[in-house]
Amino acid sequence: MSEQLGAESAIAVWPKRDEEAFERGKKELDKLSFDALSFSSDDLVHLTLEMFTALGFPSKVNVSLLKLKKFVLCVRTCMFDNPYHNWFHAFDVMQTTYCLAINSGMTKTLLDIELFALIVSALCHDLEHPGVNNPFLVASRSDLATLYNDRSVLENHHCCRAFQLMLHSEIQLLSDFASADYTVFRSVVLNNILATDMARHGEYTTKLKRLTEAGTPLEERHLDSQFAMEVIIKCADTSNVLKPFDIAKKWAMRVTDEFFVQGDKERAAHMPLTPMCDRTSQGRVALQKGFVDFVIGPFYKLVADAMPPLHESFTLLWRNREEWNLYDDQRLLRELG
């Protein structure tokens, strides 16, 4: 998007705060029980700012409050109205990152500029997500796939758009950063967002296994801060399964809605159907079970071994997995459809 990305209209009015909703949300911000879907879009704008200020930002990194407000509003404006990848998901991942950073002790060990970059990258990690995945963009020969040479197409776009917003003439979020701080900030944001490409999931699993294996020499078990931030944001991006079941199942409906919309587009364009996106053969509950059993469950176990303070944060994962055994798609749709 160019200079006329709507920044002027997006930043015109900071929304009025609903005090009751704000106080309700503020009490839950550091908990995985926070339910972003129970708040309005405006509520989440105020709670986004609250997380920044609770960590001492933006003053700790020489950013004005006005610039940060402009940036938050523009991020919201640039999140598309998809069933899943929307403003509520962007907030949810930021809030979960905030929560896991506190629980892991990271808020006390990272440099201020690193912590600010972690929270910003979580907020921007899916900026302008079109509601389809990388293979779809590549197979459909989209402009984005052409631009980014078929490699981490979405994640590269999210990075690009995040910095275009931050550097926009009406925002200039980073204008007072010293050169060294800008270099650190940019590196952290780029690495964190690029880490969310699920095509790289095996890479992270392999590294975590190496860090936690009994035979790994002690000197090779060090979890450096950049890798730890990437792990945190990966956890937050897939964290619906960690939330109380009433929250988890709402997100499950939304993500499968979006999968099936992609499948409908594939069918209409006579493209090969992505199995998980085929509403005629794929079950919503089965997708949740498979995701936990084969993809994210083993990953969270490795993360807990590498970062023991997070072990308690993952306790609902297997309880939720058992809960899914009591469901079929018909029951899920009756409750939420």
For the segment 279-289, the average pLDDT, to the nearest whole number, is 98
Pick out the residues of the known binding site for AMP: 85-89, 126, 237, 288
Rounded-to-integer distance, Cα 231 and Cα 226, Å: 9
User: Looking at the domain assignment, is residue 10 inside a domain?
Assistant: no
Tell me which of 85, 157, 158, 168 is the catalytic residue.
Answer: 85
- List, in order, residues 6 or more apart from 155 with CB less than 8 Å away: 193, 194, 196, 197
**4 against 221, higher pLDDT:** 221
Domain that holds residue 209: 38-336
8: pLDDT strictly greater than 50: no
Instruction: Sort 164 into a burial class: Cβ within 10 Å, 0-12 / 13-18 / 19+.
Output: middle
Query: Is residue 100 within 8 Å of residue 228, measured between CB atoms?
Result: no
Pick out the residues of the known binding site for Zn(2+): 89, 125-126, 237
Which pLDDT does position 12 carry in this prediction? 60
Pick out the residues of the known binding site: 85-89, 125-126, 237, 288
270 catalytic per annotation: no
Rounded-to-integer distance, Cα 318 and Cα 259, Å: 24
Q: Which residue has tokens 């523009």?
A: 74
pLDDT in tens, 91-143: 999 999 999 999 999 999 999 999 999 999 999 999 999 999 999 999 999 99
User: Looking at the domain assignment, is residue 253 inside a domain?
Assistant: yes
User: Looking at the domain assignment, is residue 4 inside a domain?
Assistant: no
User: Looking at the domain assignment, is residue 106 inside a domain?
Assistant: yes
pLDDT in tens, 223-266: 999 999 999 999 999 999 999 999 999 999 999 999 999 999 99
Which pLDDT does position 175 carry in this prediction? 97
User: Looking at the domain assignment, is residue 27 inside a domain?
Assistant: no
User: Looking at the domain assignment, is residue 222 inside a domain?
Assistant: yes
Query: Any idea what the CATH number is for the domain that residue 186 is in?
Result: 1.10.1300.10
- The two structure tokens encoding residue 252: 């499950």
Query: Is residue 47 within 8 Å of residue 26, measured between CB atoms?
Result: yes
Domains held by the chain: number: 1
User: Looking at the domain assignment, is residue 62 inside a domain?
Assistant: yes
User: Looking at the domain assignment, is residue 7 inside a domain?
Assistant: no
Which pLDDT does position 218 carry in this prediction? 82
